[in-house]
Each structure stands twice: as C-alpha cells, then as structure tokens.
Amino acid sequence: MTNADRERKVLDAVPTGLFIGGRWRDAENGATAKVEDPSTGEVLLEVADASPADGMAALDAAHTAQPTIAAMAPRQRSEILYRAYQLLHERADDLAMLMTLEMGKPLAEAKGEVVYASEFLRWFAEEAVRIDGGYQIAPNGQTRFLTIRQPVGVCVFVTPWNFPLAMGTRKIAPAIAAGCASIIKPAPQTPLTMLAFAQVLADAGLPDGALNVINATDAGGVMEPIIRDGRARKISFTGSTPVGKKLLAQAADKVLRTSLELGGNASFIVLDDADVDSAVEGAMVAKMRNMGEACTAANRFYVQRGVADEFARKLAEKMGALTVGRGTEDGVQVGPLIDGKGLSKVTDLVADAVANGAKVAIGGTAQDGPGYFYPPTVLTDVPVNSRLNHEEIFGPVAPITVVDSESQALDAANATEFGLVNYVYTRDLNRALRISERLESGMIGLNTGLVSNPAAPFGGVKESGLGREGGNVGIEEFLETKYVAIGFSG
C-alpha cells in the first residue's frame, strides 16, 4: 500500500458527523466545514458544522445521560477508561496518521501524543476508584460529620488544535472517572482526531450521551447558549487568554465551575554555572516540541553572559540540522505551522525583532511553496522590549537575550502577565530552589525541557489560567463535596 493509499484509508474511516446522544448525525442545517492539510493547503475532508440548535441537542443528551454515568459504580467507569486506553494503543498508527494529516506534526511526534493521551485514560481509570469521603466527630462530640464526593454535573470542554487528542483526554478522562457527562467542541482546524476518539469511547462502552462531540466554526454562537443555559455545571477550556476571559465572563452568569489553561510566555533561563550541552538539549525539547506550537514552549531565552555565545552557537547548530517537511515523510522532524495566520504571525514577530537589532543565527525566512512552513530559527541580541519577548510565538523561533545576573534573569522572566511555566538550567541546588520559589508560574522545568506528565498537576497562575489538570488533583475539578450533619446522642 502506498503512503497516499494509506492516508486515504485512514481518512475514509473517520466519522464526519456530530456525535450526539451516542449517534452520528448531520448538522441540523446540513452545513459542513472543510478540514485542511497544513502541509499542502488542500482539503482533507468536510465535517458537519454545528448550529446553535445542534449545541442544545448535545446539551439535552448530556443532561439526560448525567444520572446514568453518575450512578455507575466507580469500577465500571474505571473499566471503560481502561478499555479506551487499550483501544488507543491498538489504533495508535491510524490515529497518529490522522493527527499528522490535519495538524502537521511529524508522525513520530503524533505517535508520542497518542501514548501521552492514553496515559490520561490509564491515570484516571486508577483515580476513579479512589474518590474518597470522610467521617468525623464534631469538636463538641454532639454531632457527626459525613462528607461525600459527588460529580459536579454536565461539563463543557473546548480544546485547541495543537494537541488534538491529548487536550481532549486530559479533560474527558477525569470527567468520566468522576461520573460527569460532557460536551466537547474541538478546534475547527483539527476535529478529525476527536471524532475518531469519540468512536473509541463508544466502542469501550461509554453510555450514550456521556460524551457529545460538536464541531462548530461559529464557536461563540454555538457554545454561549450552552454555557448560559444552566444545566451544564462546569466549563474547561484550553486556548488563548482573550477567549478564556470571555468564557469566564459567560460562566459567571450561572456560576459555573471553571478550569482555564490559557496563554504562556515561558522563559528559558540558562545561568553561567549550567551544563551548556544539557541546556541545549533541553532547549530543543522545550522549543521544538510540536514545532513550537505549544503553550509550554520556551518563548524567551535569557542566557547569562558567560555562556551566551556557546549556548547560541550550539543551539543554532542543532536547530539548523533539523529536517523540515510534510509530517508523513520519513525523517521529517519539523512540520508546517497550523495555518496562514500562524505563519504570518511568526514572520511578523521575527521581522520586528530584526528591525530592532536582533541578529539571525539560523533560519529567519519562510520558505516558498505550498504549506505553512517556517524554518527553525535562532535570533541573538534580541532586545528585551521586542515583541518576541512579550507575545506568544507559537512557532520554531528561539530569541536569545543576554543577561548579566540571576536577578536580571528573574526580573525579565516575571515581567509578563502570563505564568504557565518557566525553565531553569543551573548546577547549584540552592540557586535552583531559590529561583524556583521566586519564578511566578504554575510549573518549573528545572534542568529539563519537558514538564507535561499525566501524573503531575498542570496549570498556571496570573493570566495563564485557573485550576489544574492531571495528577491526583486533576479529578478534584470534577467533584463537589457534600457535607451531612448527623445528630448523635450516644
């Protein structure tokens, strides 16, 4: 079978409708939306494009299913998640191919995401049977306190295009574990992977209506009525800070529980006592994972003067050696950006930095031809006030700014409204702990360029969001605590 034949086979197997109440159906008005291959600009498939009425039908289905999934034994919910975990591994090759086709990331990275996404299913399969409560004697001895953990209710999820599977499982898995029905709206650029995953959950035995998938290009028109209805009790969103703020305002009307994983502007600090080779390897992970299209991507590189030249030279060598191309091709390490808007943003940010004095060590110019490709780029002498140091790049560009001291690096790193993650390289333990405590972010990568792990709490501070996903606190976002006072006369 040729690559083209395999791609067609994978695409032909994808359901393209709305998944509502356990059934695949067309949009109410028959509308469809095109899904594009970012490496060629060609249309892969057309999928159903939901209307507000379709959104309300999804809410009806989730509301109807809520008592059923809430009443399921924790072990039943656990077993559904574990079966889905197994099915993801059985279908990993096809899911990875599908993800590469609609999002652009190299096939090896897509396979890695399938494994990463599956771990949320396994983790929360284990957490489902560990939801606890309590029994306590009142301080005066006259009553007893009983505490019960119950599902929060119907959840609404909005996920981004950069990790089409993992951002879904990170929300859906704890919801199922806790006993919550849900509605998910994937990004319009990458709905196919989530549609395929909905079929995985159906095949794993998830009750009808416990997950509903609605693709919608009119996100606001479809989602706002759902949020303002009142039957949904939680919203979880991963995406930009401006959109997150709008959703937070809408959620306030009905006092919905809210989890927001928003923008990042991560700093990557390399101090003069760091292992430079290790720092370069970490930088490659923190910067180039997903072509830099990640909220955890290193956005600002602050390197102490004593190691700045060596770090820049070695990073440019590594970045320049990467192979750029269509993600389905052998040996490709860097795929296209998601769309023309993303490419234009990266091009403009680099042009602004160069115009203000930054020097191009490698890359720096978009390549001609089809697709939204931008080469791995390293810039040196980047001014602190450059747009690259204040706006999320979402592309394969590493801007290096030289600093003279630890305190200067800290001040620069904290000089942002964002606070998702920061990275620090140093061999001094006291220095590492001191900086980790002073950096204003929800996560720190200390001598590592990778922080994401299903077993760890993921989330930010300041305008990078609210709440945490993953880890043993991840399920807390989907549970309410009920207290029962018991009279006692013994």
Q: Which residues are catalytic?
A: 261, 295
Cα angle for residues 411, 409, 442 (degrees, 5° grid): 70
What's the Rg (C-alpha) of the chain? 23
Secondary structure of 79-108 in the HEC alphabet? HHHHHHHHHHHHCHHHHHHHHHHHHCCCHH
Helix (H) or strand (E) holding 212: strand 211-213
| Residue type present at position 95 | L
Check the CA dihedral 381-383-384-388 and report its sign.
negative
Burial 219-258 (b: 16+ CB within 10 A, else e): beebbbebbebeebbbbbbbbebebbeebbebbeeeebbb
| Tokens representing residue 142 in the block | 């006259």
Q: 50: helix, coil or strand? A: coil
First to last CA, the chain: 77
**Tokens 């979402």, residue located:** 394
| Tokens representing residue 209 in the block | 């209506």
Which residue stretches of 36-149 are H helix?
52-71, 74-90, 92-103, 107-127
* Cα torsion through 401, 403, 407, 408, rounded to 10: -60
| Pairing state between β 443-446 and 421-425 | parallel
| Residue type present at position 257 | R
| Tokens representing residue 312 in the block | 């820049």
Q: What is the largest CA-CA distance in the chain?
A: 83
| Pairing state between β 257-261 and 465-466 | antiparallel
Which residue stretches of 204-339 are H helix?
219-229, 241-253, 276-288, 305-320
**Count of positions (residues) in the chain:** 490
